[in-house]
Amino acid sequence: MTDNALKNLISGILLCGVLFQAVFMWFFDSRLFFTVGLWIGIAIAVFMAWHIHYSLDIALDMPGEGDASKYMYRMYAVRMAVVLVVFFVTAYFKLGNMIGVLFGMFSLKLGAYLQPLLQKIKKKRR
């Protein structure tokens, strides 16, 4: 993944976060609680995007395919551990709405789907 792709992915994640904020916050009694949960999820999604970029960068420079594969599995486990810890800390201490956290984490997937559209928009602006 190039740095440009990472920037586009993070842009897509943040765009999804703003859209989710504008649309879904009205469905919850405590809008602030949903907003905090949503942006915790967005932060998790940005971390995951960055960590995938970082991990791939290192794995692609490794000499052996088996070593790179093992490294990527370890990095996946690290990512999932961080996600689970943040998720359960948020739930345990009631820091934010858990549905908001899930929406924020889901923005990673939607941000990836928005990448081609964001690239077209950037090309037209130039």
Whole-number pLDDT of residue 85: 97
7-48 tens-digit pLDDT: 989 999 999 999 999 999 999 999 999 999 999 999 999 999
pLDDT of residue 27: 94
pTM: 0.91
Ranges 9-18, 93-102, 111-120: which has the least confidence: 111-120
- Confidence tier at 1 by pLDDT (50, 70, 90): low
Listing DSSP states for 17-52 in one string gives HHHHHHHHGGGSS-HHHHHHHHHHHHHHHHHHHHHH
Confirm if 41 and 103 have CB atoms less than 8 A apart. yes
Residue 117 has pLDDT above 70, yes or no: yes
